[in-house]
Amino acid sequence: MVDRFKDRPFVLIGVNGDADKAKAIRAVAEHKIPWRSFWNGPDGPSGSIAGAWNVHFWPTTYMLDQQGVIRFTNLEGKDLDGPLEKLVAEAETVKRPAQ
């Protein structure tokens, strides 16, 4: 997805649920994860990020629109394609202020 949506209004963010921060860092390196990945804290899967986002199982996915509104949850595989393309296309129609 990261390559497919490169140079388009798309961001992928991950949360690592390992309780051991060093293990979380190694996982990102070993799996060559190219997107930003946050550590959920020493409480592992029940850490602060998961608590704030009401995550009860891993993986949990949230697809947000350009306004930050959750539009889809828990899609995976090919089920991601249509909704993701739709939201990215919507974001591309939003006029951005000149920089």
* pLDDT, tens digit, 9 for 90 and up, residues 36-53: 999 999 999 999 999 999
Distances (CA, A) of 66 to 44, 92, 94: 29, 9, 9
With a cut of 70, list the residues of the chain below it in pLDDT.
Answer: 96-99
The reported pLDDT for the residue numbered 19 is 96
The reported pLDDT for the residue numbered 65 is 95
Of the candidates 83, 34, 39, 35, the residue with the CA atom closest to the CA atom of residue 63:
83
Per the structure, the complete domain to which residue 63 belongs is given by 13-93
User: pTM of whole model > 0.95?
Assistant: no
The reported pLDDT for the residue numbered 94 is 83
The reported pLDDT for the residue numbered 97 is 67
**Across 12-61, where does the E strand assignment appear?**
13-16, 36-39
Amino acid present at 8: R
Dihedral of CA atoms 82, 78, 16, 26 in degrees, nearest 10, equals -130
Domain count, the chain: 1
The span from the CA of 54 to the CA of 60, in Å, is: 10
The reported pLDDT for the residue numbered 99 is 64
The reported pLDDT for the residue numbered 1 is 87
- The CATH number linked to 80 is 3.40.30.10
The span from the CA of 42 to the CA of 5, in Å, is: 32
Is residue 37 situated within a structural domain? Answer: yes
The reported pLDDT for the residue numbered 27 is 95
